Amino acid sequence: MTPLFVGYASIVVMFIIVLLGAPIGLAMIAVGFAGFAMIVGMAPAFSVLQTATFETITSYSFTLIPLFLLMGNLISRSGVAADLFRGALLLTKGWSGGLAAAGMTASAVFSTVSGSSLATASTMTRVAYPEMQAHGYDPRLATGSLAAGGTLGILIPPSIALMLYALITEQSVGTMFLAGILPGVLAFVLYIVTILVMARIWPPITADTPQPETADTSSDTQADAPAEQTGALTILRLFAPSFLLFGLVMGGLYGNFFTPTEAGGIGAALALVFALWRRVPRSELKAAFIETTITTGSIFLILIGAEVFGFVLSTSQLSNELVNFLNGNGFGRWQVMFAILIFYVVLGCFMESLAMILLTIPIFFPIIIANGFDPIWFGIIAVVTVELGLITPPVGMNLFMVKSASRGTPLSTIMTGVIPFVVTDIIRLGILLAFPAISLLLTGRL
């Protein structure tokens, strides 16, 4: 068998094993080791396996992964989500669909300190869904908006997905974070518009908040002023911990006061101080550290697998062959891009987001560079497309997180409710494809 045939066969076998339910990290290690051994021999394959494992777990760059994970897990258990939801309620008071808009607003802010879509969806559902139920919200609007809001965690920095993309493609983590800000804001605005539209189609049974009485006297106006000021101060107080943590981490990072790894360490330390100040139970602190350890182990296993599998791709010259094939058959650069995005959308229906990124980027990245696309821009496009997979039936991961946290809501209801947000995500993806400046403006790469 030729090396090229081994490369193609390895990819096919890989996807078959993953779709059968095997852990993707182990699948990548096993297939990568076997494929590399078939090309260069057993002894070099064992050497590569040893080297890839050692270099991955001892890489200083990768130490920022557990630090940002710990920051998010500590914040998730510190009562911040409930504070954010209460503050957002004050901002959306009187809106049609105000509770859903408040849940989306809280999800957006929570994403700035969580970095995880699954954690955002699960935490905010536990906080906001009971309130929506109490006000007679249609379960489709309630669960659909919370599932969609959770996807903001994969894009709004600090994002674990953007971080991993930057590390495996050797891009700047700070630049990737900057590139994610405006697309994240765009996602939030479009989601809010979607909620306002869907609240008229699926209106709540009762009003979110009592409608204010109209009054014409100047004394009433004067009496309202202190209340408005108090409301603003309350919102600021409830949002302050998240803004402080985000400002310290991101401000220090972009002000060149510390590196991304140091930013993760400072963020985790501040999150721990905040958790202790809020008197988070010892059992919850222990659970945060255990969850961080488990998630870190899973990610590092996939990183090792991606490293081993990458040797098959390089020695088989598969990526170069794909580039030559596409160029030789007259495929335009945008045709290549749309083919990759369609593949991501389909794969996202069956695979977890981080696994998708680590499995496919080593294959697609050389093709993207060969076609002249900006690597930072493509990182945003890839993550947004993967984000779409998080809420795309039948197995979007956020759908199951919301189902688990909403206690008995039928999965079919959640899938129906999320469809308008899937349409919104497709529109947003089209906007980002048509206007790369949205992703690149803050990075200075225009």
Sequence-distant (6+) residues with CB within 8 A of 342 are: none
d(CA 102, CA 125): 12
**Tell me, what's the pLDDT at 299?**
84
At 157, is the secondary structure helix, strand, or coil?
coil
Mean residue pLDDT of the chain comes to 83
Does 221 score more than 50 pLDDT? no
Phi, psi of 307 (to 5 degrees): -65, -45
In this structure, the number of other CB atoms found within 10 A of the CB of residue 232 comes to 12
Top-confidence range, 178-182, 340-344, 358-362, 364-368? 178-182
pLDDT digits (tens, 9 = 90+) for 97-116: 888 999 999 988 888 887 77
Going from N- to C-terminal start, the domains of the chain cover 3-209+223-443
pLDDT digits (tens, 9 = 90+) for 348-386: 766 777 778 887 888 888 888 888 899 999 999 999 988
**DSSP string of 385-420?**
HHHHHHTSTTT-HHHHHHHHHTTS--HHHHHHHHHH
* pTM reported for the whole predicted model: 0.83
**Tell me, what's the pLDDT at 421?**
93
At 332, is the secondary structure helix, strand, or coil?
coil
Do 373 and 335 form a contact (C-beta atoms < 8 A)? no
- Give the residue from 260, 92, 101 showing the smallest Cα distance to 171: 260
